[in-house]
Amino acid sequence: MSTARSKNSDDELKTTLLPCGHEVLDALQCHYCDYIQDELIEQLMVPKDASKKERSFSHPDEFQFILVHQSCELSFKGYLYELKRAVTAIEQDHLEAAAELVERCRSWILIAARQLQHLVDHLTPQNFAYFRDLLSPASGAESIRFRLIEITTGLKPESPYVSHRGQMYTFRQFLDRGPALGVGRPKTRWWTASMTEAADHSTLRSALADAAVRHNYLQLKVSDEGEEATRAFGDLLKSDSALQKLAVALIRLERGILAFRKVHLNAAKRHIAEDSGTGHTAGVAYLRAVMETARCFPALTVAAERLEREEEG
């Protein structure tokens, strides 16, 4: 930062030249480059090797690969920020405000889906092959923010998650396998302490169930899954209430998450075909199985699908 002088029609003003190149009247004034942490953004564009040392891009298209994933992580952060507010709003029975916040969550996950779609459209399998081995055994499945999205939206640790290599796993069972030697064995335990903590707090799913009890759709003793809960949520979806609007927003959110999963699946189909995943998964088969099984609002989802079939029939 250096001092400069600018000519004014009346006086000579003392100004400051910032590291970004902008000349400002006051060195302490709020400045865009500082506000968005421009220097940090530039640092993020540089890849690092396994020892955390900066390295050159192994292929020019590695730039877009890392940028897209960083952008997705920022969108996930936006989702988690609004989700926390939505849970609080539901608990306080501010249901219309909660529905709006849930729609913001949906918007953030769809933004991430569009960002990931960029790689489907613009990264060829041949160019990805230049740097794929440099990423092993890292995997997008290690994204803590996306795992927190799954948990805080409604996936319980004991929720059915994926049928993988002939075995059905719950959410925690699949992520909580420890690192092991051998080809195809986990090299990272994907479950973290932050996920355990998140699972112990209110989620969108638990907040919805509590609200359904308060508004006499669910009985206190009834679980938020299973046939009885499905019928109760079916009645809720047929009502004209603020809670019904929230339930519809949550269904749209679930489908937004599925839309993101589908783009991720399509990216895997394009870039690795039926090969094993970058991590230790079966790649495309794993992502397809998660789409078929994992649901944040299982009873609500079934109730909505039944109602849609009734309306169509």
Residue 7: CB atoms within 10 A of its CB come to 8
- Does position 164 have pLDDT exceeding 90, yes or no? no
- Does position 7 have pLDDT exceeding 60, yes or no? no
When pLDDT is averaged across residues 268-278 and rounded to a whole number, the result is 76
- Does position 288 have pLDDT exceeding 90, yes or no? yes
Looking at residue 4, its pLDDT comes to 57
- CA 246 to chain CA centroid, Å, is 20
Tokens of 118: 């960029």
Which range is least confidently modeled, 2-11, 83-92, 108-117? 2-11
- CA 291 to chain CA centroid, Å, is 15
Give the model confidence (pLDDT) of 213-270 as tens digits. 999 999 877 889 999 999 999 999 999 999 999 999 999 999 999 999 999 999 999 9
When pLDDT is averaged across residues 114-131 and rounded to a whole number, the result is 96
Looking at residue 54, its pLDDT comes to 93
Looking at residue 6, its pLDDT comes to 54
Give the model confidence (pLDDT) of 30-46 as tens digits. 999 999 999 999 999 89
Structural domains in the chain, sorted by start? 2-43 (no CATH), 57-312 (1.20.58.480)
What is 141-168 written as a DSSP string? GG-HHHHHHHHHHT--TTSEEEEETTEE
Q: Tell me which residue of 119, 130, 134 sits closest to 270, measured CA to CA.
A: 119
pLDDT band (50, 70, 90) for residue 279: low
- Does position 18 have pLDDT exceeding 90, yes or no? yes
Contact 130, 59 (CB under 8 A): yes
Looking at residue 310, its pLDDT comes to 93
Max distance between CA atoms of the chain, in angstroms, equals: 81
**List of residues 6+ apart from 169 with CB closer than 8 A:** 161, 162, 163
Q: Provide the percentage of residues in the chain whose pLDDT is more than 90.
A: 77
pLDDT band (50, 70, 90) for residue 136: confident
pLDDT band (50, 70, 90) for residue 280: low
The mean pLDDT of the chain is 92
Give the model confidence (pLDDT) of 168-217 as tens digits. 999 999 999 999 888 778 889 999 999 999 999 999 999 999 999 999 99
Q: Which is higher by pLDDT, 214 or 49?
A: 214
pLDDT band (50, 70, 90) for residue 147: very high
When pLDDT is averaged across residues 58-69 and rounded to a whole number, the result is 96
Q: Which residue has the tokens 């079934």?
A: 302
When pLDDT is averaged across residues 155-166 and rounded to a whole number, the result is 93
- Does position 146 have pLDDT exceeding 70, yes or no? yes
Cα separation, 160 vs 155, in Å, equals 9
Q: Please give the model's pTM, rounded to 2 decimal places.
A: 0.92
